[in-house]
Structure 1
Amino acid sequence: MKYIPGENIFDKFFQQRQSLIQQFKKGDITKKEYIEESYGYIQRMKIKPFKRVDNFNKAIFNYQYYNMMAKYCYLQGKEIKKYDKHPEMHKEYLDKVNYYYHKKDQSTLKAIELLDFFDVEAYYIKVTSTNLKESLFEIIFKDYEQVVLHSKSQWLLDRLKEEGVFKEGIRKSLIENYINEKY
Protein backbone atom coordinates (compact mmCIF):
# COMPACT_ATOMS: atom_id res chain seq x y z
CA MET A 1 0.00 0.00 0.00
CA LYS A 2 1.35 3.42 -0.85
CA TYR A 3 2.34 5.26 2.29
CA ILE A 4 1.14 8.83 2.72
CA PRO A 5 2.74 10.68 5.66
CA GLY A 6 0.26 11.09 8.51
CA GLU A 7 -2.12 8.48 7.12
CA ASN A 8 -2.91 5.39 9.18
CA ILE A 9 -2.93 2.47 6.75
CA PHE A 10 -4.68 0.20 9.26
CA ASP A 11 -7.51 2.68 9.74
CA LYS A 12 -7.93 3.18 6.00
CA PHE A 13 -7.95 -0.55 5.23
CA PHE A 14 -10.26 -1.49 8.08
CA GLN A 15 -12.65 1.42 7.42
CA GLN A 16 -13.10 0.17 3.86
CA ARG A 17 -13.62 -3.36 5.14
CA GLN A 18 -16.13 -2.19 7.77
CA SER A 19 -18.05 -0.25 5.14
CA LEU A 20 -18.39 -3.39 3.02
CA ILE A 21 -19.41 -5.44 6.06
CA GLN A 22 -22.19 -2.93 6.83
CA GLN A 23 -23.41 -3.09 3.23
CA PHE A 24 -23.46 -6.89 3.44
CA LYS A 25 -25.32 -6.88 6.77
CA LYS A 26 -27.97 -4.53 5.34
CA GLY A 27 -28.38 -6.77 2.32
CA ASP A 28 -27.10 -4.13 -0.12
CA ILE A 29 -24.41 -6.50 -1.42
CA THR A 30 -24.06 -10.28 -1.58
CA LYS A 31 -21.15 -12.26 -0.16
CA LYS A 32 -19.80 -12.62 -3.71
CA GLU A 33 -19.98 -8.84 -4.22
CA TYR A 34 -18.32 -8.32 -0.82
CA ILE A 35 -15.42 -10.54 -1.91
CA GLU A 36 -15.13 -8.89 -5.33
CA GLU A 37 -15.22 -5.37 -3.86
CA SER A 38 -12.61 -6.28 -1.23
CA TYR A 39 -10.34 -7.78 -3.87
CA GLY A 40 -10.81 -4.71 -6.09
CA TYR A 41 -9.83 -2.46 -3.20
CA ILE A 42 -6.69 -4.55 -2.54
CA GLN A 43 -5.74 -4.24 -6.22
CA ARG A 44 -6.49 -0.50 -6.53
CA MET A 45 -4.55 0.34 -3.38
CA LYS A 46 -1.69 -2.02 -4.32
CA ILE A 47 -1.94 -3.61 -0.88
CA LYS A 48 0.64 -6.23 0.04
CA PRO A 49 0.98 -8.20 3.27
CA PHE A 50 3.60 -7.22 5.81
CA LYS A 51 6.84 -9.17 5.67
CA ARG A 52 7.76 -8.26 9.22
CA VAL A 53 4.85 -8.98 11.52
CA ASP A 54 5.73 -7.58 14.94
CA ASN A 55 2.35 -6.52 16.26
CA PHE A 56 -1.24 -7.74 16.43
CA ASN A 57 -2.59 -5.24 13.88
CA LYS A 58 -0.11 -6.35 11.23
CA ALA A 59 -0.99 -10.01 11.83
CA ILE A 60 -4.72 -9.29 11.47
CA PHE A 61 -4.08 -7.15 8.40
CA ASN A 62 -2.19 -10.08 6.83
CA TYR A 63 -4.97 -12.49 7.85
CA GLN A 64 -7.56 -10.32 6.06
CA TYR A 65 -5.34 -9.94 3.00
CA TYR A 66 -4.70 -13.67 2.62
CA ASN A 67 -8.29 -14.59 3.43
CA MET A 68 -9.65 -12.26 0.77
CA MET A 69 -7.13 -13.45 -1.81
CA ALA A 70 -8.08 -17.07 -1.11
CA LYS A 71 -11.79 -16.35 -1.40
CA TYR A 72 -11.33 -14.40 -4.63
CA CYS A 73 -9.21 -17.18 -6.18
CA TYR A 74 -11.86 -19.68 -5.10
CA LEU A 75 -14.50 -17.59 -6.92
CA GLN A 76 -12.35 -17.45 -10.05
CA GLY A 77 -11.65 -21.18 -9.96
CA LYS A 78 -15.33 -21.94 -9.47
CA GLU A 79 -16.23 -19.78 -12.46
CA ILE A 80 -13.67 -21.54 -14.66
CA LYS A 81 -14.85 -24.98 -13.53
CA LYS A 82 -18.44 -24.08 -14.41
CA TYR A 83 -17.54 -24.03 -18.11
CA ASP A 84 -15.19 -27.02 -17.82
CA LYS A 85 -12.90 -25.70 -20.57
CA HIS A 86 -9.62 -25.06 -18.77
CA PRO A 87 -8.95 -27.73 -16.10
CA GLU A 88 -5.32 -26.62 -15.77
CA MET A 89 -6.41 -23.06 -14.91
CA HIS A 90 -8.90 -24.44 -12.41
CA LYS A 91 -6.09 -26.39 -10.74
CA GLU A 92 -3.87 -23.28 -10.70
CA TYR A 93 -6.60 -21.36 -8.86
CA LEU A 94 -7.09 -24.20 -6.38
CA ASP A 95 -3.35 -24.21 -5.71
CA LYS A 96 -3.52 -20.46 -5.07
CA VAL A 97 -6.51 -20.95 -2.74
CA ASN A 98 -4.56 -23.50 -0.70
CA TYR A 99 -1.48 -21.29 -0.63
CA TYR A 100 -3.40 -18.22 0.56
CA TYR A 101 -5.34 -20.18 3.19
CA HIS A 102 -2.09 -21.58 4.54
CA LYS A 103 -0.61 -18.07 4.74
CA LYS A 104 -3.83 -16.92 6.44
CA ASP A 105 -3.48 -19.66 9.04
CA GLN A 106 0.14 -18.68 9.64
CA SER A 107 -1.04 -15.09 10.19
CA THR A 108 -3.68 -16.36 12.62
CA LEU A 109 -1.08 -18.20 14.65
CA LYS A 110 1.20 -15.15 14.63
CA ALA A 111 -1.63 -12.95 15.98
CA ILE A 112 -2.31 -15.45 18.75
CA GLU A 113 1.38 -15.86 19.58
CA LEU A 114 1.79 -12.07 19.81
CA LEU A 115 -0.84 -12.18 22.57
CA ASP A 116 0.89 -15.19 24.13
CA PHE A 117 -2.41 -17.12 23.79
CA PHE A 118 -3.90 -14.82 26.44
CA ASP A 119 -7.67 -14.08 26.26
CA VAL A 120 -8.01 -16.16 23.09
CA GLU A 121 -10.75 -18.73 22.65
CA ALA A 122 -11.51 -21.14 19.80
CA TYR A 123 -14.36 -23.56 19.14
CA TYR A 124 -16.17 -25.39 16.34
CA ILE A 125 -19.11 -23.52 14.83
CA LYS A 126 -22.48 -24.54 13.43
CA VAL A 127 -22.47 -24.40 9.65
CA THR A 128 -24.92 -25.28 6.90
CA SER A 129 -22.18 -26.53 4.55
CA THR A 130 -21.63 -30.28 4.79
CA ASN A 131 -17.99 -29.76 3.74
CA LEU A 132 -17.33 -27.51 6.73
CA LYS A 133 -19.24 -29.42 9.43
CA GLU A 134 -17.03 -30.31 12.38
CA SER A 135 -14.00 -28.81 10.65
CA LEU A 136 -14.52 -25.03 10.65
CA PHE A 137 -13.63 -23.33 13.90
CA GLU A 138 -13.82 -19.76 15.10
CA ILE A 139 -11.15 -17.87 17.01
CA ILE A 140 -12.06 -14.88 19.12
CA PHE A 141 -10.00 -12.39 21.08
CA LYS A 142 -11.60 -11.09 24.26
CA ASP A 143 -9.78 -7.74 24.04
CA TYR A 144 -10.59 -7.32 20.31
CA GLU A 145 -14.32 -7.97 19.93
CA GLN A 146 -14.39 -7.01 16.24
CA VAL A 147 -11.77 -9.61 15.36
CA VAL A 148 -13.34 -12.97 14.51
CA LEU A 149 -11.12 -15.42 12.64
CA HIS A 150 -11.86 -18.81 11.09
CA SER A 151 -9.90 -21.82 9.99
CA LYS A 152 -10.15 -25.51 9.32
CA SER A 153 -6.40 -26.13 9.55
CA GLN A 154 -5.59 -29.28 11.49
CA TRP A 155 -2.10 -28.09 12.49
CA LEU A 156 -3.54 -24.83 13.84
CA LEU A 157 -6.29 -26.70 15.68
CA ASP A 158 -3.69 -29.01 17.25
CA ARG A 159 -1.68 -26.00 18.44
CA LEU A 160 -4.77 -24.31 19.90
CA LYS A 161 -5.62 -27.51 21.78
CA GLU A 162 -2.03 -27.85 22.96
CA GLU A 163 -2.16 -24.31 24.38
CA GLY A 164 -5.53 -24.94 26.05
CA VAL A 165 -7.52 -22.28 24.18
CA PHE A 166 -9.73 -24.62 22.13
CA LYS A 167 -13.08 -25.41 23.78
CA GLU A 168 -14.96 -28.58 22.91
CA GLY A 169 -18.51 -28.45 21.60
CA ILE A 170 -20.16 -26.63 18.73
CA ARG A 171 -21.35 -23.01 19.02
CA LYS A 172 -23.14 -20.48 16.88
CA SER A 173 -20.68 -18.28 14.98
CA LEU A 174 -20.51 -14.61 15.92
CA ILE A 175 -20.88 -13.87 12.19
CA GLU A 176 -23.27 -16.69 11.32
CA ASN A 177 -25.00 -14.95 8.40
CA TYR A 178 -21.73 -14.35 6.58
CA ILE A 179 -20.33 -17.82 7.29
CA ASN A 180 -23.42 -19.61 6.07
CA GLU A 181 -24.08 -17.59 2.91
CA LYS A 182 -22.88 -19.33 -0.24
CA TYR A 183 -20.95 -17.51 -2.92
Structure 2
Amino acid sequence: MKQFKRESIFDRFFEHRDSLIIQYKNGDISKREFLEGNFDFVQKIRIKPFSKVDSFEKGIYNYQYYNVLAKYYNMLAADIKNDPNFVKQYKSCRYKANYNYNEKDKATLQLLRFLEFKNVEAYFIKVESTYLNNKLYEIVLMDYEYAIFHSKSKWLLRILREEGVFIERKRTSLIDGYINEKY
Protein backbone atom coordinates (compact mmCIF):
# COMPACT_ATOMS: atom_id res chain seq x y z
CA MET A 1 0.00 0.00 0.00
CA LYS A 2 1.33 3.41 -0.95
CA GLN A 3 2.03 5.98 1.70
CA PHE A 4 0.71 9.43 0.90
CA LYS A 5 2.91 12.27 1.96
CA ARG A 6 1.08 15.39 3.02
CA GLU A 7 2.08 18.39 0.92
CA SER A 8 3.87 20.99 3.03
CA ILE A 9 3.20 24.70 2.84
CA PHE A 10 6.62 25.08 1.24
CA ASP A 11 5.69 22.57 -1.46
CA ARG A 12 2.53 24.58 -2.22
CA PHE A 13 4.38 27.87 -2.07
CA PHE A 14 7.19 26.81 -4.42
CA GLU A 15 4.83 25.06 -6.85
CA HIS A 16 2.67 28.19 -7.06
CA ARG A 17 5.68 30.49 -7.37
CA ASP A 18 7.34 28.34 -10.06
CA SER A 19 4.04 28.06 -11.95
CA LEU A 20 3.64 31.85 -12.05
CA ILE A 21 7.27 32.30 -13.13
CA ILE A 22 6.81 29.82 -15.99
CA GLN A 23 3.51 31.42 -17.05
CA TYR A 24 5.16 34.83 -17.07
CA LYS A 25 8.22 33.60 -18.99
CA ASN A 26 5.93 31.97 -21.58
CA GLY A 27 3.97 35.20 -22.02
CA ASP A 28 0.75 33.67 -20.67
CA ILE A 29 0.39 36.33 -17.99
CA SER A 30 1.51 39.95 -17.69
CA LYS A 31 3.77 41.34 -14.99
CA ARG A 32 0.70 42.81 -13.30
CA GLU A 33 -1.07 39.42 -13.34
CA PHE A 34 2.12 37.82 -11.99
CA LEU A 35 2.21 40.30 -9.09
CA GLU A 36 -1.52 39.95 -8.39
CA GLY A 37 -1.25 36.14 -8.47
CA ASN A 38 1.56 36.21 -5.92
CA PHE A 39 -0.30 38.70 -3.71
CA ASP A 40 -3.53 36.67 -3.79
CA PHE A 41 -1.66 33.48 -2.89
CA VAL A 42 0.18 35.05 0.07
CA GLN A 43 -3.13 36.45 1.34
CA LYS A 44 -4.86 33.08 0.88
CA ILE A 45 -2.34 30.96 2.79
CA ARG A 46 -2.20 33.44 5.69
CA ILE A 47 1.28 32.54 6.85
CA LYS A 48 3.29 35.40 8.25
CA PRO A 49 7.06 35.58 7.77
CA PHE A 50 9.22 33.41 9.99
CA SER A 51 11.08 35.16 12.81
CA LYS A 52 13.97 32.68 12.60
CA VAL A 53 15.47 31.72 9.26
CA ASP A 54 17.00 28.27 9.68
CA SER A 55 16.32 26.96 6.18
CA PHE A 56 16.49 28.16 2.60
CA GLU A 57 12.73 27.68 2.31
CA LYS A 58 11.96 29.98 5.24
CA GLY A 59 14.35 32.61 3.92
CA ILE A 60 12.93 32.63 0.42
CA TYR A 61 9.39 32.66 1.78
CA ASN A 62 10.16 35.73 3.91
CA TYR A 63 11.76 37.52 0.95
CA GLN A 64 8.86 36.65 -1.33
CA TYR A 65 6.25 37.62 1.26
CA TYR A 66 7.63 41.13 1.72
CA ASN A 67 8.50 41.56 -1.96
CA VAL A 68 4.97 40.63 -3.01
CA LEU A 69 3.40 43.10 -0.59
CA ALA A 70 5.83 45.88 -1.51
CA LYS A 71 5.27 45.51 -5.24
CA TYR A 72 1.51 45.19 -4.83
CA TYR A 73 1.24 48.41 -2.81
CA ASN A 74 3.65 50.15 -5.17
CA MET A 75 1.43 49.12 -8.08
CA LEU A 76 -1.68 50.43 -6.30
CA ALA A 77 0.06 53.70 -5.54
CA ALA A 78 1.04 54.10 -9.21
CA ASP A 79 -2.59 53.51 -10.23
CA ILE A 80 -3.86 56.42 -8.12
CA LYS A 81 -0.81 58.69 -8.08
CA ASN A 82 -2.29 61.55 -10.09
CA ASP A 83 -5.86 61.37 -8.83
CA PRO A 84 -6.52 64.22 -6.36
CA ASN A 85 -9.39 62.22 -4.81
CA PHE A 86 -6.98 59.57 -3.54
CA VAL A 87 -4.13 61.53 -1.96
CA LYS A 88 -4.56 59.85 1.44
CA GLN A 89 -4.77 56.37 -0.09
CA TYR A 90 -1.72 57.11 -2.27
CA LYS A 91 0.34 58.09 0.79
CA SER A 92 -0.85 54.97 2.62
CA CYS A 93 0.12 52.71 -0.30
CA ARG A 94 3.55 54.36 -0.61
CA TYR A 95 4.15 53.91 3.13
CA LYS A 96 3.17 50.22 2.95
CA ALA A 97 5.34 49.68 -0.14
CA ASN A 98 8.39 51.31 1.46
CA TYR A 99 7.89 49.46 4.75
CA ASN A 100 7.69 46.10 2.96
CA TYR A 101 10.70 46.87 0.74
CA ASN A 102 12.73 47.53 3.89
CA GLU A 103 11.48 44.30 5.49
CA LYS A 104 12.35 42.45 2.25
CA ASP A 105 15.93 43.71 2.51
CA LYS A 106 16.13 42.53 6.13
CA ALA A 107 14.78 39.13 5.02
CA THR A 108 17.42 39.00 2.28
CA LEU A 109 20.16 39.60 4.82
CA GLN A 110 18.76 36.91 7.14
CA LEU A 111 18.87 34.39 4.29
CA LEU A 112 22.35 35.43 3.16
CA ARG A 113 23.63 35.07 6.72
CA PHE A 114 22.01 31.64 7.00
CA LEU A 115 23.80 30.66 3.75
CA GLU A 116 26.99 32.29 5.10
CA PHE A 117 27.20 34.31 1.85
CA LYS A 118 28.41 31.16 0.03
CA ASN A 119 27.86 30.91 -3.74
CA VAL A 120 26.31 34.36 -3.82
CA GLU A 121 27.09 37.11 -6.26
CA ALA A 122 25.67 40.58 -6.54
CA TYR A 123 26.09 43.42 -9.03
CA PHE A 124 24.38 46.52 -10.37
CA ILE A 125 22.10 45.80 -13.29
CA LYS A 126 21.38 47.62 -16.52
CA VAL A 127 17.94 49.20 -16.34
CA GLU A 128 15.84 51.37 -18.60
CA SER A 129 14.66 53.51 -15.68
CA THR A 130 16.80 56.59 -15.08
CA TYR A 131 15.61 56.58 -11.44
CA LEU A 132 16.91 53.03 -10.83
CA ASN A 133 20.14 53.44 -12.81
CA ASN A 134 23.15 52.78 -10.55
CA LYS A 135 20.77 52.04 -7.66
CA LEU A 136 19.18 48.67 -8.42
CA TYR A 137 21.33 45.60 -7.95
CA GLU A 138 20.77 41.88 -8.30
CA ILE A 139 21.68 39.20 -5.78
CA VAL A 140 21.94 35.68 -7.14
CA LEU A 141 22.04 32.52 -5.05
CA MET A 142 24.02 30.34 -7.43
CA ASP A 143 22.95 27.01 -5.92
CA TYR A 144 19.20 27.58 -6.31
CA GLU A 145 16.96 27.93 -9.35
CA TYR A 146 14.90 31.15 -9.49
CA ALA A 147 16.75 32.56 -6.45
CA ILE A 148 17.32 36.05 -7.81
CA PHE A 149 16.75 39.02 -5.53
CA HIS A 150 16.81 42.75 -6.15
CA SER A 151 17.40 45.73 -3.94
CA LYS A 152 18.45 49.34 -3.93
CA SER A 153 19.22 49.40 -0.20
CA LYS A 154 22.45 51.21 0.58
CA TRP A 155 22.97 49.44 3.91
CA LEU A 156 22.56 46.00 2.31
CA LEU A 157 24.92 47.00 -0.52
CA ARG A 158 27.56 47.95 2.08
CA ILE A 159 27.26 44.50 3.70
CA LEU A 160 27.48 42.72 0.32
CA ARG A 161 30.68 44.61 -0.40
CA GLU A 162 32.09 43.83 3.06
CA GLU A 163 31.36 40.15 2.53
CA GLY A 164 33.17 40.24 -0.83
CA VAL A 165 30.22 39.07 -2.94
CA PHE A 166 29.50 42.33 -4.77
CA ILE A 167 31.03 42.58 -8.24
CA GLU A 168 31.84 46.16 -9.18
CA ARG A 169 30.63 45.79 -12.76
CA LYS A 170 27.19 46.44 -14.24
CA ARG A 171 25.52 43.43 -15.85
CA THR A 172 22.32 42.59 -17.64
CA SER A 173 19.81 41.14 -15.16
CA LEU A 174 19.15 37.42 -15.37
CA ILE A 175 15.49 38.42 -15.60
CA ASP A 176 15.98 41.54 -17.69
CA GLY A 177 12.58 41.41 -19.42
CA TYR A 178 10.79 41.29 -16.08
CA ILE A 179 12.89 44.00 -14.47
CA ASN A 180 12.39 46.46 -17.30
CA GLU A 181 8.69 45.79 -17.87
CA LYS A 182 6.32 48.28 -16.31
CA TYR A 183 3.19 47.16 -14.49
Fold shared, TM-score > 0.5 on shorter chain: yes
- 1:51 Cα deviation after fit: 2.2
Unaligned runs of 5+ in 2: none
Contact 2:73–2:96 at 8 Å: present in 1 too? yes
- Where 1:167 maps in the other structure, the secondary structure is strand
Q: 1:42 is matched with which residue?
A: 42
Which portions of structure 1, spanning 4 or more consecutive aligned residues, are displaced by more than 2 angstroms?
none
The 5 Å alignment of 1:5-84 reads 6-84=6-84
Residues matched between the structures, number = 179
- 1:47 Cα deviation after fit: 3.0
- Where 2:94 maps in the other structure, the secondary structure is helix
Unaligned runs of 5+ in 1: none
Q: What residue identity is the alignment partner of 1:171?
A: R
Q: 1:147 is matched with which residue?
A: 147
The CA distance in 1 between the partners of 2:145 and 2:123, in whole Å, is 16
**What is the CA deviation profile of residues 31-58 of structure 1, one whole-angstrom value per residue up to 9, with x for unaligned ones?**
0111111111112222321122222221
- Where 1:160 maps in the other structure, the secondary structure is helix
- 1:92 Cα deviation after fit: 1.0
Q: TM-score, normalised by structure 1?
A: 0.93
The CA distance in 2 between the partners of 1:108 and 1:84, in whole Å, is 36
Q: 1:128 is matched with which residue?
A: 128
- 1:85 Cα deviation after fit: 1.0
The CA distance in 2 between the partners of 1:88 and 1:167, in whole Å, is 41
What's the % identity of the aligned pairs? Answer: 50
